[in-house]
Amino acid sequence: MSAGAGNGTPAVLTERLTKSYGRAHARGVVDLDLEVRAGEVFGFLGPNGAGKTTTIRALLDLIRPTSGRALVLGRDSHRETLAIQARSGYLPGELSLYPDLTGRETLRYVANLRGGVDWDLVAELAERLDCDLERKVADLSTGNKRKIGLILAFMPRPELLILDEPTAGLDPLVQREFYRLLDEAREAGQTVFLSSHVLPEVQRVCDRVAFVREGRLVAVEDVAELTGRAVREVEVVFAGPVPRSAFEGIPGVTNTAADARHPDQLRLTVTGSLDPLVKRLAAFPVVDLVSRLPDLEDVFMTFYAAGADGGAPDEKTEQGGHDAP
């Protein structure tokens, strides 16, 4: 790989990145300090208008920040734009393609701009994503256009993939194949910056995740640690009545509730590891145990419980147009 990947240099680094819009100085992003490690799949989470697309467009120099700076693959996003774009693959949130071209003509057009691609890889991607390249773009559904966008992003084997809501409009089978592509990208040492509001998707594919709200970075967390800390609900059925007091004071266990109609059942809220609870349960005859696996949605709602919908302008407005290949 080229300099900037695999040598300790972050794939993406922003320093107090700020973008303001309009006379009222509405903020798209505010003092964003973000670091994406080379070789990881990094999730960028937030509701619509949180500043996700603004950040991506600033990384690719499609818009200019009001202040601060961004380094992508070790290069300045403004002064070295062409070098960055040559080593990156990008799927915009709102993909605009030339309607009169077929999928294959679209790919060939972009490939020529890039100086050529591996057409065996293109054929493989089209097959895996079930993408018909012979139909005109104007005749394609949103999901099928998205498939072409994914091929455009993956076909140059880029060091950095920047994907904005990549699975929008894709059917479940194609989504699953896309997740495999991300796993393979990680194994190949590529970096993936994935903007999404689909929480199960981020939990499935990402190593770390950043939460943004109203243009500000709220937290950057390891996905495995997040789900390990998340709250889960546990229901236990015993062979006979068990006193609720027997499960008080267990580390991580709160809200122990019994049902008067079913004295042999308990419901508990557990934060973190189940190990202390399991050890206490070993002293009683357990008939059944059901644990709702934690997911990012619980964590997400913790960060966005207040003011989730206010602040930054709507991202569709932010873009000020469409992205042509």
Which residue, among 90, 88, 64, has the nearest Cα to 4 in the 3D structure? 88
Q: Is the pLDDT of residue 263 over 50?
A: yes
What is the pLDDT at residue 164? 93
Give the separation between CA 51 and CA 319, rounded to whole angstroms: 11
Tokens at 120, concatenated: 């065996």
pLDDT tens per residue, range 102-156: 999 999 999 999 999 999 999 999 999 999 999 999 999 999 999 999 999 999 9
Which residue, among 169, 97, 185, 91, has the nearest Cα to 133 in the 3D structure? 97
Q: Is the pLDDT of residue 168 over 70?
A: yes
pLDDT tens per residue, range 13-60: 999 999 988 755 566 899 999 999 999 999 998 877 889 999 999 999
User: Mean pLDDT: which of 20-29, 185-194, 298-307 is highest?
Assistant: 185-194
Instruction: Give the CATH fold of the 12-226+301-319 domain.
Output: Rossmann fold (3.40.50)
Tokens at 91, concatenated: 């799927």
Give the separation between CA 3 and CA 14, rounded to whole angstroms: 18
What is the pLDDT at residue 301? 63
pTM to 2 decimals? 0.75
The angle that helices 142-154 and 172-187 make with each other, rounded to 10 degrees, is 10
For residue 81, give every residue at least 6 positions away whose Cβ sits within 8 Å of its Cβ, in sequence order, or none: 60, 61
Helix (H, G, I), strand (E, B) or coil at 195: strand
Say how many Å lie between the first and final Cα of the chain, rounded.
25
pLDDT tens per residue, range 222-249: 987 776 666 778 999 999 988 888 888 8
Task: Indicate the class that CATH gives domain 231-293.
Answer: alpha beta
Per domain, the residue ranges of the chain are: 12-226+301-319, 231-293
